[in-house]
Amino acid sequence: MTLTLYAAPFSSATPVVHAFDELDVPHERVMLDLAKGEQRAPDFLALNPNGKVPTVVVDGTPMFEGLAILQWLGDRFGVARGLWPAADDPARLTALSWTTWSYVTFGALLSCSQWASSDRMDPALHHAPLADHARAQLQELLGLLDARLADRAFVLGDDYTLVDLVLGDVIAYATFTGLAIDAHPRVAAWHARVRERPSYQTAWSPA
């Protein structure tokens, strides 16, 4: 299999870079300079019409959206490495649910809070009540994850899996944007365990 990963430092590609490293999947890595607009080059837009990283090319077929790529990596490489449940394992259902939850449910609220208050966004779009509402909702969601971790060390059970990698990276990004997780002691303790993983250190440390 020939795999090419298009990425950029500290971007939506970071969890995918992280997963490739954790799974030790051989691939070619192309780092795009987003500030120079390399993601809008016609050759790249032919792979991903959104002009965004991450983008992966699998034996000539392009694939975009980080969550889709992560779930595919789990299916294709994670099962054999004991880091993702097999297709007929009920835990696969749980893995798909929590990883999608982190990007879609948690991620949408995080984006909302960013648009409504971040100094990296156009101040004309800021809206303090919306930012407060999104932050309160995010705390409620962290409460759900805290409850999930009441009787297990990791999201699926006793062992670290790609589910922890995906959720751990979404929550890492959330904390970088200023979201506090310390009101949820099990989430904080689990995230500390996830951060011990060597692949986490490589993915999130400055080069």
Ligand X SMILES: N[C@@H](CCC(=O)N[C@@H](CS)C(=O)NCC(=O)O)C(=O)O
Q: Rounded to whole angstroms, how far apart are CA atoms 54 and 14?
A: 8
Q: Return the residues of window 60-89 that contact ligand X according to CB under 6 A.
A: 65-66
Q: Return the residues of window 17-46 that contact ligand X according to CB under 6 A.
A: 34, 39
- Decide: 16 and 70 in contact? Cβ < 8 Å: yes
Q: Rounded to whole angstroms, how far apart are CA atoms 100 and 167?
A: 9
Minimum distance, C-beta of residue 143 to ligand X, in the bound complex (Å):
25
Beta-carbon contacts of residue 67 (< 8 Å; ≥ 6 apart)? 99, 100, 103, 104, 166
Minimum distance, C-beta of residue 86 to ligand X, in the bound complex (Å):
25
Nearer to ligand X, 52 or 135 (CB): 52
Nearer to ligand X, 149 or 162 (CB): 162
Nearer to ligand X, 66 or 146 (CB): 66
Q: What single-letter DSSP state applies at residue 103?
A: I
Per the listing, tokens 């904080």 go with 188
Whether a cis peptide bond, with omega within 30° of 0, leads into 85 is: no
Site map 114..153 versus ligand X, x via CB under 6 A:
----------------------------------------
Query: How many residues bind ligand X, per CB under 6 A?
Result: 10
* Residue ranges in contact with ligand X by CB under 6 A: 11-12, 34, 39, 51-54, 65-66
